[in-house]
Structure 1
Amino acid sequence: MIAQNTLKAQVSQNMAFLGEANRYSPFLAAQNDSFHSASYDLSANTLVPDIYGSQRSQAPLTTATSVVGLQFKDGVVIAADVLGSYGSLARFRNCQRIMKVNDNIILGAGGDYADFQYLKNIIEQKILEEECLDDGFSLKPKSLHCWLTRVMYNRRSKFDPFWNNFIIAGLEYGQPFMGTVDKLGTAYIDPVIATGYGAYMATPLLRKALESKPDLNKEEAIDILTKAMQVLFYRDARSFPKYQIGIISKEGIEIRGPLTLESNWELAHMIG
């Protein structure tokens, strides 16, 4: 009888421990909560039991580099390569970082790939539950941009940031929209956006092209973005020749790729 009571006490203690662990699990919190963004426990306490190990992402592991975006007359085009780098090792070569959110929005992500996957799952769940409501309303790009800004700033304030830079592109009541938010929650809207190393190397090229011809069409915007990706491939040590292009316009959403950049390394001796 004493042994049986001891066993029951151990089982009760283990169940209580698992319940406490689940309460602190940010993944389970995101899975079990309802549609509204306020109910997603994205700032969950990270002081969890040892069974989960360290939950703080103070340094990203598998990372992805730049995302570049350009607004044209009737829509937006964004591009990103498909490399996931493990430190300086080109380890994962098919990490697709452009996702279709709904018929109005595409999303591009750079930075820690695991953090992107985590947020991608939550966004997909939000869209699924929104479609189940079938009330004629759908998420708009400005709304997603605002929501991501709040999420990123909230996690940054908890000293447990999502190590990502996002580009949100879409059509807001028929008009092109493009915005970005980084891991600190810093956000802005612009017709030309590049994240990561592309902010230094690609932004001047894209701005010059847009200033010279403000009413770009879709194909011209794609050509300009392809040239920007070529420059990044030559200059960025964490870039990759295979990439994706996401296009959103009144005709719909198209995600092309992975495509392969044309390169010519005979000019390498000229790069100092």
Structure 2
Amino acid sequence: MMMESPASAPVENSLLASPDSAIQRTKTPYVTGTSVIGLKYKDGILMVADMGGSYGSTIRYKSVQRIEKVGKHSLIGASGEISDFQEILRYLDDLVLNDNMWDDGNSLGPKDIHNYLVRVMYNRRNKFNPLWNNLILGGVKNGQKYLGTVNMIGVHYEDNHVATGFGNHLARPILRDEWREDLSFEEGVKILEKCMRVLLYRDRSAVNKLQIAKITEDDVQIYPPYALKTVWNLAAFQNPSASAPGSW
């Protein structure tokens, strides 16, 4: 009696045999990062993000880097789904590699990369398979500073300061009051730390482990993580329901 070889065995229950096996959708973000903030300062662009990665409402990871260098002239920061951000970084690696292969002496600037990301995010949205991220893209090329943002459905704009997540609600008012065009590096960092401290107090997904990055015409630096000095003995924190009658 001839035995059936493994290669010819029925595969009705195999995932590979499913007609939908090649189609995958991120329907709900799983591991997410919160706010990223960027601003222009006198010499270039500053960007900050914490290093938390939340699994639902649980802060599962505390060493997730969400700011990366792109090419020679740009920095990218992302909030939202971490795995989708990794996919975006792969897209950008391919883009920069393809550009370098032309060997024509030119290189992609921050505006070029921002325009590319806008098209990617809008294209994925139209396929009902969005990348669940809000992105900040900043850089300096030929003396021109550039800072822009794009969200998961392709809505985008440029500004002197931008933020994602809760930062768009809680940090932007601070930036509108305190930002100016001739900020020094130290002043810019001080403003970003003030914004991140407010977010740490108010955003449950924020962690007290920050990473700051800067980019100028000549240099790109992503600094090691560090913690902010915080104060938790304020009356509002000790008895948060005192000013909200009827709350828990």
| TM-score (normalizing by structure 1) | 0.79
Equivalences for residues 105-254 of structure 1 within 5 A: 105-210=74-179, 213-254=180-221
Q: Deviations over 1:175-211 (max 9, x none)?
A: 111000000100000011010000000001011111x
Q: Give how far 1:99 is off.
A: 0.2
Check whether the contact 1:142–1:172 (CA below 8 A) recurs between aligned residues. Answer: no
Match for 1:69: what amino acid?
G
Aligned-partner Cα distance in 2 for 1:99–1:202: 21
TM-aligned CA distance change 1:103 to 1:9, over 3 Å: closer
Check whether the contact 1:74–1:175 (CA below 8 A) recurs between aligned residues. Answer: no
Please name the residue that 1:259 is paired with: 226
1:48 to 7, 16, 20: 20
Q: Give how far 1:129 is off.
A: 3.5
Q: How many residues align?
A: 236
Check whether the contact 2:73–2:217 (CA below 8 A) recurs between aligned residues. Answer: no
Q: What is the RMSD of the two structures over their aligned residues, measured on CA atoms? A: 2.6
Aligned-partner Cα distance in 1 for 2:97–2:38: 26
> What 5-or-longer segments of structure 2 have no aligned partner?
244-248
Q: Give how far 1:133 is off.
A: 3.5
Q: Deviations over 1:117-155 (max 9, x none)?
A: 111122123223333433211111111111100110111
2:58 to 85, 89, 99: 89
Aligned-partner Cα distance in 1 for 2:232–2:5: 70
| TM-score (normalizing by structure 2) | 0.87
Kindly, what percent of the aligned residue pairs are identical? 41
